[in-house]
Amino acid sequence: MTDEASERGIEILVDGFMDNPVLAWVFQDEVTRADGIRGYVEVFRKAYGDHGVLEVEAGGEGAALWAAPGTPPLGGEDAAALVALLQRFNGERTNLVLSTLGAIVAPTEPHWYLNVIAARRGSRSRGIGARLLEPFLERADREGVGIYLESSNPKNLSFYRRYAFENFGEAIVLPDVGPVLQPMWRAPHPPAA
């Protein structure tokens, strides 16, 4: 992916997540939220390196960031960059945000991880999410691995369930009457005969 395509993907994700309940809880100031979301996506894109895929939908209205099976967990400089980002936007809330997000327990078996997927706010409900998700479902099935994600918006649960995602453990209710983060898992499906 060219730098220009990568930048376009990040811009789409920033726009698509501006009204996301979980990221609005993490980056509470509406004025600086876009910068926080951009920093978040950039930390993970850099951390995934060659193990990551930043996919931009053909029409340029949606994007997704994936980590391939075997991607090392966030650590070292990348983890420090995430902590510094959260401190910059959360101040005294940083420990609360870190401990809450740190409660997420991902599967240990090999899997594709869908970190973020979004359509631009003005382009939702047009099948963009499906066009981004379906090729990775097919790929994961061919590879015989599952797909893991954390749904950060209850409105999206029915979308994921249509594709055979199931709840993976308990939902995480964010403090201060915050939103719900629902981990989800899709087991690999055998190829059609």
For residue 193, is it within any domain?
Answer: no
Residue 106's domain spans which residues? 3-186
Q: Is the pTM of this model over 0.85?
A: yes
Q: Which helix (H) or strand (E) holds 44?
A: helix 33-48
Residue 118 falls inside a structural domain: yes
| Surface-to-core class of residue 54, CB atoms within 10 Å of its CB (0-12 exposed, 13-18 middle, 19+ buried) | buried
CATH code of 47's domain: 3.40.630.30
Report the number of distinct structural domains present in the chain. Answer: 1
CA atoms within 13 A on the CB side of 137: 15
Q: Does residue 171 sit within a domain?
A: yes
User: Does residue 192 lie in a domain region?
Assistant: no
Is residue 191 in some structural domain? no
Is 62 domain-assigned?
yes
The torsion of the CA quartet 32, 52, 142, 60, rounded to 10 degrees, works out to 50
- The enclosing H or E element of 116 equals strand 111-119
Residue ranges of the chain with per-residue pLDDT less than 50? 1
